[in-house]
Amino acid sequence: MALKSTCSSLKCYLECIQADMDKAEAGNKAAAQRVRTNSIKFEKMAKLYRKESVKAEKSGGGKKKKVAAKKPKKAAPKKKAAPKKKVAPTKKAAPTKKAAPTKKAAPKKKAAPKKKVAKKAPAKKPTKAKRATKAKRTTSTAKKRPTAKLLKKRRKR
């Protein structure tokens, strides 16, 4: 009986959803909300139906009486294959000469030893002009507080 009640409730939910779906398509927001909630309820009921129907199949409650099985037809006897035609014997081709033996492959050469990378020469000291520009960059960009020695030099000037 549980399977029958589940089927009837599924049908009821489907009818409600269909009626509200028509209203929701027209723009009724409340009907759209009812469709969403009923679809969730329908999903739960469908899961319950699946469980109950499997249970009913296993217990034999949902089975109908078996209809008498049809008798299988007897297979027709296989036909015999037609006799093969005789084929005239063909002439044998003259034996071909054997190919000349090929030379053996040369032994593989050993890999060349890796070349040593030369060390880079030490960098040369910058010329006076470059030193002067470097000094200007450091003093102009980063302003440092003058030391006591620099202050004495400035006072003497």
Write the pLDDT tens digit of every residue in 102-134: 666 666 666 666 666 666 666 666 666 666 565
Question: In this model, does residue 47 exceed pLDDT 60?
Answer: yes
- pLDDT, residue 105, reads 62
Amino acid identity, position 93 = A
Read off the pLDDT of each residue in 17-30 and give the average, rounded to a whole number: 94
Q: How many DSSP H helices and E strands does the chain contain?
A: 4, 0
Percent of the chain with pLDDT over 70: 45
Instruction: For residues 143 and 150, give the distance between their C-alpha atoms in angstroms, rounded to a whole number.
Output: 14
The tokens for 47 are: 């899961």
Question: In this model, does residue 38 exceed pLDDT 70?
Answer: yes
Residue written as token pair 């469980």: 51
Question: In this model, does residue 72 exceed pLDDT 80?
Answer: no
- On whether the pTM is more than 0.85, the answer is no
Q: Say which residues have a Cβ less than 8 Å from residue 48's Cβ, sequence separation at least 6.
A: 6
- pLDDT, residue 36, reads 95
- pLDDT, residue 151, reads 80
Least Cα distance to 42 among 34, 30, 53 occurs for 34
- pLDDT, residue 40, reads 95
The structural domains of the chain, with segments of one domain joined by +, span: 2-59
Instruction: For residues 4 and 52, give the distance between their C-alpha atoms in angstroms, rounded to a whole number.
Output: 10
pLDDT class of 59 with cuts at 50, 70, 90? confident
- pLDDT, residue 117, reads 63
Q: Within 13 Å of residue 73, how many CA atoms lie on the same side as its CB? A: 3
Instruction: For residues 10 and 116, give the distance between their C-alpha atoms in angstroms, rounded to a whole number.
Output: 83
